[in-house]
């Protein structure tokens, strides 16, 4: 098994298709990384690029992508329903194959130093966190871009890399190393954000739901729907099917139907196996049957 690395870069642009194409072109111009998924959402005003390659190639591609996005995205005019703090908002690296967490951390920190050198404040999270209160993306991004200037003035929030001063155009970036999470969204046939927030409380770990689920309610104006947007940070402990069935039940109790679901980025095969075994009741199923 070869050493490989997966990156899942979130940029704060989901409407300007020409800009997004330019960022993609920078990522792919050397031909040394494989783009697995590109998810663009107009309501979120966000695009997520997911790709793999040798660790060094992923680092170089991510630097090219980030430099292009920083040059072209202006956070002073950014509006969208998804939480965000910077033009290049979140950059997680996930070790694949024989790549170790320690090796992935070297890549994450090299990227952080690069971005800091471009004049962008950078925070390390998850396995790369420099202190306990910075491990969670939710904690780092609390208050979003609008609160960033005040946060940077607080000594407790001095960036790990880059300037301490507020950079209005680029905002700040969070990067690190994490377990392969599942980004799973459920859209509801209603425009009631309050109703969606009530369902979020039933599934989010912080409010008594599933331990490994981070969730929030978002408006989807273009679809005239609301969304339960989630990260299943450990699908082994909080499987997709259990979370989905809970949302389905909570929505039905409120007289609302599910409009559809979304998987953002790649899905680990064993997470898919859990779903197949639950819904199809397949006996003796093995992922070796998938080709």
pLDDT tens per residue across span 92-118: 999 987 889 999 999 999 999 999 999
Q: For the chain, which residues score pLDDT lower than 50?
A: none
Phi, psi for residue 186 in degrees, rounded to 5: -125, 120
pLDDT of residue 1: 55
Check 78, 82, 189, 241 and give the catalytic one.
Answer: 82
Instruction: Domain ranges for the chain, please list them.
Output: 3-177, 182-289
Query: pLDDT digit string (tens) for 46-76?
Result: 999 999 999 999 999 999 999 999 999 999 9
Q: What confidence score (pLDDT) does residue 181 get?
A: 83
Active site includes 82?
yes
- Give residue 127's pLDDT: 94
User: What's the pLDDT at 126?
Assistant: 94
- pLDDT of 60 reads 97
Average pLDDT, rounded, for the chain? 94
d(CA 162, CA 222): 37
For the whole model, what pTM was predicted? Answer: 0.81
Give the CATH superfamily of 182-289: Formiminotransferase, C-terminal subdomain (3.30.70.670)
Query: Which CATH number applies to 3-177?
Result: 3.30.990.10
Q: How far apart are CA 126 and CA 132, in angstroms?
A: 9
């Amino acid at each position: 098994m070869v050493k490989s690395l997966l990156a899942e870069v979130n940029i704060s642009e989901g409407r300007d298709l020409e800009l997004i194409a330019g960022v993609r072109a920078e990522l792919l111009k050397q031909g040394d990384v494989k783009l697995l998924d590109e998810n663009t959402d107009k309501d979120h005003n966000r695009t997520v690029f997911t790709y793999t390659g040798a660790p060094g190639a992923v680092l170089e591609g991510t630097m090219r992508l980030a430099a292009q996005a920083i040059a072209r995205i202006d956070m002073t005019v950014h509006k969208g329903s998804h939480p965000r703090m910077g033009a290049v908002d979140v950059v997680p690296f996930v070790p694949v194959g024989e790549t170790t967490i320690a090796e992935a951390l070297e890549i994450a920190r090299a990227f952080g130093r690069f971005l800091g050198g471009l004049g962008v404040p950078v925070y390390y999270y998850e396995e790369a966190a420099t202190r306990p209160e910075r491990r969670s993306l939710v904690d780092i991004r609390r208050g979003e871009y609008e609160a960033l200037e005040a946060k940077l003035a607080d000594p407790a929030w001095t960036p790990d890399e880059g300037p301490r001063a507020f950079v209005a155009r680029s905002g700040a970036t969070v990067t690190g190393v994490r377990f392969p999470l599942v980004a799973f969204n459920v859209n509801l046939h209603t425009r009631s954000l309050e109703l969606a927030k009530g369902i979020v409380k039933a599934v989010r770990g912080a409010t008594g739901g599933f331990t490994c689920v981070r969730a929030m309610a978002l408006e989807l104006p273009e679809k005239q729907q609301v969304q339960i947007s989630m990260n299943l940070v450990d699908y082994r402990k909080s499987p997709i099917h259990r979370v989905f069935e809970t949302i389905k039940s909570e929505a039905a109790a409120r007289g609302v139907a599910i409009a559809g679901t979304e998987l953002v980025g790649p899905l680990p095969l064993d997470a898919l196996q859990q779903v197949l075994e639950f819904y199809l009741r397949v006996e003796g199923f093995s992922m070796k049957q998938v080709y």
